[in-house]
Amino acid sequence: MWYFTEEERALQEVTRDFANKELAPHAEKHDSEETFNIDAFKKMGELGILGITADPDHGGAGLGATAATIVMEEFGKVCAGSTLSYLAHSMLCVNNIATNASDEQKAKYLPKLISGEHIGAMGMSEPGYGSDAVGMKCKAVASGDDYIINGNKMWITNAQYADVVYLYTRTGEKRNDLTTFIIDTKATEGYSVSKEIHKMGMRSSPTGELSFENAKVPKENRVGAEGDSVSHMMRNLEIERLTIAGISLGIAQACVDQCLKYVNEREQFGKTLGNFQMIQKMVAEMASETEMMRHFLYNICREWDAGKVSNTAAAMVKLQLPKMATKIALDAIQIHGGYGYSREFPLERMMRDNKLNEIGAGTNEVMILIIAKNLIKEAAQQ
């Protein structure tokens, strides 16, 4: 984008090179075997991007949503699964700690998370509470110098590898009585990864269910005061929705790039596919839609960095980009015909991976509710 800073342009080049060298060559293998590219993840720490939004005092890069989304786009082009694990670590765990935790908690947990020595996750969704996250039942009860936590968390990215979990719990009877804790998984008795989840897409991103059975967590691990976590949750959801849309942008661009290459090589009826008007129409629309995605997303990221973005705008981005990227991936498969449907090309993986982006961080339907509710309320107040 024309308004990227020199630092953001340098980040784009570095992460693109890293993606092509460390992620792309292994993407198909990890998808097929449902394995985690932990070697590349550790190297992300060396690259200095695991704490991209965190304060430099704790080893972070001190950048914003625009920079974080640049990384998502470049990584998402080649391996969306690894990118999702990166997002869960850097946006859902590290960014939350960097934004909401005390100085003592930041000093204790951020350095190892940012270096890559530790892997982070976030526990919000539950087996019976997905879109209605605030209705969660996982409960923390104060007991002396500790809290006793009981309950389960579902669909947790990085679950099997997490050293640190940023956990949302219920601490009161009112709907918004939610409290957050930082869980040191290796030191918490009663904590376990009770189930490994196998998925249609994002298969190189480990996902599991977390169980807490009378898990004892020190009060010093509580983030902020009791009952004040809903505002933290909603604020972090905004940047999560922007950055997960960055993965969809990367997938869409990769589909366009693959199609442009293919239509210049593949011949039918004595000429390349690029000579057929129906193919030209599809390619032109895919490229135009991807460019629309890019401008919409980065403009809203820029507003977020300036402190001006609204919850409505973040929801609009989250609704439209993943939905459009799925359409683009399906068009790319159609252009490739039987090859697109086979695993000989990465397009079927890209389509499977992107479908998660229409579900995670708020489903399309929830985004529609948020957008409509906010617009109607604003109109009524005029």
Q: Read off the pLDDT of each residue in 218-241 and give the average, rounded to a whole number.
A: 94
Q: Over the stretch 93-142, which tens digit does the pLDDT of each residue have?
A: 999 999 999 999 999 999 999 999 999 999 999 999 999 999 999 999 99
The reported pLDDT for the residue numbered 235 is 86
Which H/E stretch holds residue 8? helix 6-18
Structure-block tokens of residue 39: 């070697």
Of the candidates 160, 195, 185, 210, the one whose C-alpha atom is nearest the C-alpha of residue 35 is: 160
pLDDT at residue 333 in the model: 98
- Contact yes or no for 20/79 (Cβ under 8 A): no
Q: What is the pLDDT of residue 293?
A: 98
Average pLDDT of the chain is 97
| Phi, psi (degrees; rounded to nearest 5) at 182 | -100, 120
Please check whether residue 335 is in contact with residue 262, taking contact to mean a CB–CB distance below 8 angstroms. Answer: yes
Q: Are strands 164-170 and 178-184 parallel, antiparallel or unpaired?
A: antiparallel
Over residues 212-235, the mean pLDDT reads 95
> Is the per-residue pLDDT at 6 higher than 90?
yes
pLDDT higher than threshold 90 for residue 2 = no
Give the model's confidence band at 82: pLDDT under 50 very low, under 70 low, under 90 confident, else very high. very high
Give the CA distances from residue 272 to residues 18, 182, 255, 264, 265, in Å, rounded to whole numbers and listed in that order: 33, 57, 18, 6, 6
Q: Do 333 and 258 form a contact (C-beta atoms < 8 A)?
A: no
Is 122-229 in the same CATH topology as 6-119? no
Q: Are 121 and 176 in contact (CB under 8 A)?
A: no
CATH T-level fold of 122-229? Butyryl-CoA Dehydrogenase, subunit A; domain 2 (2.40.110)
Q: pLDDT value at position 342?
A: 97
Local confidence band at 15 (pLDDT 50, 70, 90 cut-offs): very high
Q: Are 332 and 258 in contact (CB under 8 A)?
A: yes
Supply the CATH classification number for the domain 230-381: 1.20.140.10
Residues acting as catalytic residues: 240
Residue boundaries of the structural domains of the chain: 6-119, 122-229, 230-381
In whole angstroms, give the CA distance from residue 282 to residue 293. Answer: 16
Extended beta strands in 238-300, E state: 267-268, 271-272
40 vs 71: CA distance, rounded Å:
14
1, pLDDT greater than 90: no
pLDDT, residue 310, reads 87
**pLDDT above 70 as % of the chain:** 100
The predicted-structure confidence for 296-346, as pLDDT tens digits, reads as follows: 999 999 999 999 988 999 999 999 999 999 999 999 999 999 999 999 999
Q: What is the pLDDT of residues 165-221, one digit of tens each?
A: 999 999 999 999 999 999 999 999 999 999 999 999 999 999 999 999 999 999 999
Q: What is the mean pLDDT of residues 361-382?
A: 97
CATH of 6-119, one of 1.20.1050.10, 1.10.3720.10, 1.10.540.10, 1.10.1040.10: 1.10.540.10
